[in-house]
Structure 1
Amino acid sequence: MASVATPPAAELWSSIMSAVAPSVSETTFSSWIETLKPEKLEDRVLTLLAPSKFHREFVEEHFVPGLEAVALENTGEPVRVRIRVQGAGEIPRQRNLKFTTTAPAKHPENVPANGHSVSAAELAAEANLNPRYRFENFIEGDCNSFARAACLAISDLSRPTLWNPLLIYGGTGLGKTHLLQSIGNRVLSVRRYDGIRVRYVSSERFTQDFIQSVRTQQGSDFTDKYRNVDLLLVDDIQFFATKERTQTEFFHAFNALHQSGRRIVMTSDRPVHELAGFDERLISRFDSGLVTNVNPPTYETRLAILQDRAKFENFPLPLDVADLLSTHITSNVRELEGAFAALVAHCQFGRVPATLELAQRVIQEKTGKRTGRPPVELIQQTVADYFRISQDALRGKTRKKEIAYARMIAMYLMTELTEHSLKTIGGFFGGRDHSTVIHARDTITELRKTDEVQTVAALNDLERRLSLGPIVRTSM
């Protein structure tokens, strides 16, 4: 008897599919994701049914981390995804799909005649890779987990993949280059002695090399450089737009690599359907594998990036300072790292510690704006001072009426003035549950609506002290 999905499983799986669909190509989605059927959701484990053992193994290898990340985003709690085979059905027939498994191209192993192996740094330099870009120091979050999982999967050249080519798109400074070069560094690390050749190139450099080969009549050198590799990594393909001869050359290089089972990974600042000025032949090839995106980092990811950089640089970064930078530098990772570098420079050159005042100065330098969102500790300190209680009492367990009221005020201000989740805000008050924060927010909101004198006066004064002016609300 066929299994029937329980409503929670079906509902969760439907929301996961809706979130994943825009991140992968239509062929990939219909072949691998849509064919999975929800069976049950028990103890935070979502069980899906696959039509065959191969289908199950392929999804486990390439998709499960991304699916679990989406499930976490939808439910707010970790959900494991398990795949089991239903019956012994074969994988559905797929059209225009080609498995690729990479055997090394015909070139010598990375061992010179004197018997000494080539170092990893030398291999990275030859491939034009920055050895600093690795999966190990790439901060994963909901904004990039699926793209990272795809990059990890395609970096395993020993396994067949449908994700060829892989195209990652997203705005400037979101980590596309980091992921792209991480693939190359992982391949060179794992397959160091296998004679594997990797080539990383920006679209601009590819164009310059092509023009130079035409001028010097050294077309064969150019061909060997970009067609006799096992993995080609091309950054910012959008700059190929309107360059007809360069596009033609890239088209031929793409075909030569793809037809021989070599792998191609590209990045772009926009999705395939928004790439203007391209030959339709190239557009169809870009869209023939897996297309996925990276989004601007969430607050939690931004905070983790800063803490990781501080640890790497052995720089003492107070949590309130990291919170302030993470709250205000929101557009991309590059700008956030630039703000961190500026903060470190101010501290080292001025021989001063990292403080909120210094962080506010850096933010103003970087954005041209004064900080508009106070950090958590400043809200707690301001509320505690206003009600003449200690911050320990505000964060503590006491249920005295006056302290509980002040605590609700502080929680309310944090829900209105910061990007923290309800769960995170609860954590700032002795690990309280998110339901406590919801109760505080709703209680103070109702008191303010009814013009309760004490609450209105307190909020107006606190908002003035936090230099924010009245809170602007949007109608729901």
Structure 2
Amino acid sequence: MNNEYRSAWEKCLNVIKDNVPSSSFKTWFEPIEPVKLENKVLTIQVPSAFFYEYLEEQFIDILRKTLRMVLGNGAKLEYNVVLSNKNSNEPYTVSYPTNNNNKIQNKPLTVPLKAEEKATIKNPFIIPGIQKLQIDPQLKPDNTFENFVEGDCNRLARSAGFAVAQNPGGTAFNPLMIYGNSGLGKTHLSQAIGIQVKENFPDKVVLYVNANKFQTQFTEATRNNNRNDFLHFYQMVDVLILDDVHEFAGKEKTQETFFHIFNHLHQMGKQLILTSDKPPIELKGMEQRLLSRFKWGLTADLQTPDFETRMEILRRKIYKDGITLSDEVLEYIASHVTNNVRELEGALVSLLAQSMLNKREITLELAAKLINKLVKNSKRELSIEYISKVVCDYFSMPVDALQTKTRKREIVQARQIAMYFSKSLTKYSLASIGAQIGSKDHATVLHACKTVNNLKDTDKNFRQFVEDIEKKLKM
């Protein structure tokens, strides 16, 4: 019996390992130690309160399902959180039960039935009651507008989404189609609309569903001869959020069914919100009549966030977690992890985890060591704005100074160095570099590069400036 809790946790780990990325498993599950098992309550020890909160936020679903699988119904989880002790060198632990966050819920939806009929419309998400459907909107509470950082890369989509949330089905943005590459916030923004609708109109039935889940439900309904129930269920939704609609490509029957759902909802003044990795015109394997309907409303894209937006995302994240990091570290992360928001937040979380587990202060050196492992070993594409900031920080001057027309020697020199590194470390054209640094032409950029090279050969102090800045940019 003494090893029962270890055996149970080992079985849990075997299941979890197959359902989460290997990097996440190593960071968040390997450090956990099982403590005890009593009355189907498994207690595990985690290194910190942040560790506990992150598990509850990101992995609670897989933990609960795995516990039920290993220990049976009624299984529960409890945490022993290790805390530092100011009065002693020995840490102490505090027990926390697993959270049961209140989910956003739709009110029960009454289904009109004749007295002699006993059949009910099947809810593909949960087993319905006799005459009422309790529909879970499937929305993650943290995916709100407040937690969505606005920037030039997403302003149109966010503004349109907020307008839809104020008047679902009553704007010209129906359907609202949001598209962009993976990790740019399509799911977050689409769910934020649903959450805002529930706040503004509690009686409206909101439902978020991924295209894969929709396809699975449709297949199951077809197998059980319940296609009509499936169709009727979705036609009763007030706001339907369909994520990753591009996954319908080549699935003719699913497209046909969604076509009828789309038509019904649109004609009844209900709101449709769709997300995709491409705009309608580039979607392949989709029926033309469906694509034409996707274009009825507004199509808005999400682009790769710029440096300022990435910085704001990181600041929001550490503020929410109650953590303090230097701007130098945040700028390093923002300048090197540029592809999407998901990778950016993942890099920050990995850095915090490494610092916590190894009990090391988060320094620029630690950040550089970790980011170098996370980012692909290809030549990194720095941004002109980041290069300009590093140069100006080195010379203790505001970045705006580079955009002025002043002929002060120190500002002209800083502008030339920024142009020099922008040409050597980025793929931007000379014209683009000049336009972004002082609104100059390509000839000015060429002259700046020539000047910097000449001064490096003749001025020892200037050469030291350039070498110091280059080290900062290539860390």
TM-score (norm 2): 0.60
Tell me, what secondary structure is at the counterpart of 1:264? strand
2:238 equivalent to 1:230: yes
1:248-263 → structure 2 map (5 Å cutoff) = 248-263=256-271
Amino acid at match of 2:150: E
1:259 is displaced (CA, Å) by 1.1
Tell me, what secondary structure is at the counterpart of 1:234? strand
Describe the superposition over 1:378-436 as per-residue Cα deviations: whole angstroms up to 9, x where unpaired. Answer: 7578x67xxxxxx69x99x9xxxxxx7566544543455479xxxxxxxxxxxxxx869
Q: CA RMSD in A?
A: 3.8
Tell me the residue number matched to 1:347. Answer: 355
The structure, 1 or 2, with the larger RCO (C-alpha pairs under 8 Å, 6+ apart) is 1
1:137 is displaced (CA, Å) by 1.1
Tell me, what secondary structure is at the counterpart of 1:205? helix
2:348 equivalent to 1:309: no
Over 3 Å counting, the alpha-carbon distance change for 1:407 and 1:443 in structure 2 is: farther
1:225 is displaced (CA, Å) by 2.9
2:421 equivalent to 1:413: no
Amino acid at match of 1:366: L
1:292 is displaced (CA, Å) by 1.3
Unaligned ranges ≥5, structure 1: 1-103, 110-122, 385-390, 398-403, 420-433, 472-476
Describe the superposition over 1:270-305 as per-residue Cα deviations: whole angstroms up to 9, x where unpaired. Answer: 011110101111011111111111111011101110
Over 3 Å counting, the alpha-carbon distance change for 1:470 and 1:379 in structure 2 is: closer
Cα distance in 1 for partners of 2:439, 2:281 equals 46
* Partner of residue 179 from structure 1, selected from 177, 181, 189: 189
1:141 is displaced (CA, Å) by 0.4
Cα distance in 2 for partners of 1:306, 1:124 equals 37
* Partner of residue 126 from structure 1, selected from 136, 139, 150: 136
Describe the superposition over 1:8-30 as per-residue Cα deviations: whole angstroms up to 9, x where unpaired. Answer: xxxxxxxxxxxxxxxxxxxxxxx
2:248 equivalent to 1:240: yes
Cα distance in 1 for partners of 2:188, 2:353 equals 24
1:57-456 → structure 2 map (5 Å cutoff) = 107-108=109-110, 126-157=136-167, 160-192=170-202, 195-369=203-377, 408-417=412-421, 445=448, 448=451, 451-452=454-455
Contact 1:227 1:256 in 2 (8 A): yes
Contact 2:419 2:449 in 1 (8 A): no
Cα distance in 2 for partners of 1:321, 1:409 equals 26
Over 3 Å counting, the alpha-carbon distance change for 1:406 and 1:167 in structure 2 is: same
Cα distance in 2 for partners of 1:134, 1:238 equals 24
Tell me the residue number matched to 1:52. Answer: none
Tell me, what secondary structure is at the counterpart of 1:266? strand
- Residues matched between the structures, number: 322
TM-score (norm 1): 0.59
Amino acid at match of 2:239: L
1:366 is displaced (CA, Å) by 1.3
Over 3 Å counting, the alpha-carbon distance change for 1:262 and 1:364 in structure 2 is: same
Tell me, what secondary structure is at the counterpart of 1:126? coil
